[in-house]
């Protein structure tokens, strides 16, 4: 049978880090402080892109700090992977992440995608499916994102043929996810089938959500500041938290977290901090709580989200 490999690599661009080799200056977005990702515009022409706010920059010719011209980019993304696979195999690579670029190309030997599961991909046509740097599947701390990733892995595993082999390329095989996935092997002493594997995950996940007071066992309200000044943003979230502690005196069933940084602390020039409030399901004082929270929101200009998908 013709060997065909699909590489799954959810990391866009050519390189994810750009630095001055002389002084170590790192190139980051002016609005977000996020590391800029290198893309190839055409031929040798490169550009830097911020994935958080979509700002584009010319690839630097010299360092703004020390004026050295020794600029290097590291940590490859999917574009670099494609260049490597083309070189090693001598064949073109079909890009499910960029079908425009592959329009004229019949699906040849190998393909890449940046999505974990994509219903338009004929998975059973591949002999091998390789998750490149599979530890990145666990990069998000959000529990709902983790649930979605497990769901997509299950869909993928249900879409392949018996002959397809899935390979998880990772530097951390000891992570719980990979220990669980290893049990899908028919020779494993604690073998699980694909659906049992997913049910197993959901059961463990439900227990830990109950223990740590997360939905669906409680409701959550995420209050978020958005300020141009970092200190002011932190000051406001602390005020909001003190007000919440006062509200708790009338509504003792509330749980209030300490203030914490948003995952993207700076985004589009705005700094964000969160406070997480938990309250019981079918809460008897929901009317009073809503009134108090809405008032807090308008006084302090904080964003309020009920049971949001992302808590960080």
- Give whichever of 25 and 115 is closer to Zn ion, judged by the CB atom: 25
Which residues would be at the binding site for Zn ion (CB under 5 A)? 20, 22-23, 25, 29, 31-32, 50, 52-53, 55, 63, 65-66, 68
Task: Give which of 86, 79, 61 is closest to 71, Cα–Cα.
Answer: 61
The two tokens of residue 117 are: 């599961």
Q: How far is the CB of 52 from Zn ion (least distance, A)?
A: 5
**Smallest distance, Zn ion to C-beta of residue 1, A:** 46
Measure the CA angle with vertex 262, ends 261 and 264; round to 5°.
120
Q: What stretches of the chain show up as alpha helix (H) in DSSP?
A: 78-89, 99-102, 143-159, 176-182, 194-211, 230-250, 286-300
Cβ-in-10-Å burial (0-12, 13-18, 19+) of 98 comes to middle
Query: Residue 268 CB, nearest distance to Zn ion (Å)?
Result: 7
d(CA 246, CA 100): 56
Residue 291 CB, shortest distance to Zn ion, in Å, is 37
Shorter beta-carbon distance to Zn ion: residue 66 or 86: 66
Q: Is 269 exposed, middle or buried (0-12, 13-18, 19+ CB in 10 A)?
A: middle
Q: For residues 11 and 266, which CB has a smaller minimum distance to Zn ion in the complex?
A: 266
What are the C-alpha distances in Å from 124 to residues 105, 152, 236? 19, 16, 53
CB of 226 to Zn ion, least distance (A): 15
Q: Which is nearer to Zn ion, 12 or 241 (CB)?
A: 12
Contacts of 298 (CB under 8 A, 6+ apart): none
The nearer residue to Zn ion, 49 or 149, going by C-beta atoms, is 49
Give the separation between CA 266 and CA 284, rounded to whole angstroms.
37
Nearer to Zn ion, 22 or 89 (CB): 22
Our CB check for Zn ion shows the closer of 18 and 113 to be: 18
- Please spell the DSSP secondary structure of 62-92, one letter per residue: S-TTT----EEEEEE-HHHHHHHHHHHHSS-
Cβ 302 to Zn ion shortest distance, Å: 22
Smallest gap from residue 28 Cβ to Zn ion (A): 8
């Amino acid at each position: 049978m013709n060997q065909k490999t699909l590489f799954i690599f959810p990391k866009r661009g050519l390189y994810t880090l750009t630095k001055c080799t002389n002084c170590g200056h790192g190139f980051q977005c002016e609005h977000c402080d996020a590391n800029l990702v290198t893309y190839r515009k055409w031929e040798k022409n490169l550009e830097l892109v911020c994935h958080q706010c979509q700002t584009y920059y010319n690839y630097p010719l010299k360092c703004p700090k020390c004026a050295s011209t020794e600029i290097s980019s590291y940590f490859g993304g999917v574009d670099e992977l494609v260049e490597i696979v083309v070189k090693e195999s001598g064949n073109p690579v079909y890009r499910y992440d960029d079908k425009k670029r592959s329009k004229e190309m019949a699906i040849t030997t190998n393909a890449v995608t940046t999505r974990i599961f994509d219903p338009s991909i004929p998975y059973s046509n591949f002999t091998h499916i390789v998750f490149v740097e599979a530890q990145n599947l666990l990069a998000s701390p959000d529990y709902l994102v983790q649930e979605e990733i497990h769901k997509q892995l299950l869909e993928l595993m249900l879409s392949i043929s018996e002959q397809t082999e899935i390979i998880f390329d990772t530097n951390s095989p000891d992570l719980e996810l990979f220990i669980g996935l290893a049990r899908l092997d028919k020779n494993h002493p604690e073998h699980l089938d694909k659906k049992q594997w997913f049910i197993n995950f959901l059961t463990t996940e439900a227990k830990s959500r109950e223990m740590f007071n997360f939905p669906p066992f409680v409701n959550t309200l995420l209050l978020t500041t958005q300020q141009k000044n970092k200190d002011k943003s932190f000051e406001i979230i602390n005020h909001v938290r003190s007000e919440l502690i006062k509200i708790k005196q009338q509504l003792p069933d509330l749980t209030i977290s300490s203030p914490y940084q948003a995952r993207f602390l700076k985004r589009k020039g705005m700094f964000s901090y969160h406070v997480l409030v938990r309250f019981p399901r079918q809460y008897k004082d929901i009317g009073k709580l809503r009134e108090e929270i809405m008032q807090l929101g308008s006084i302090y200009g904080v964003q309020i989200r009920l049971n949001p998908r992302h808590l960080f």
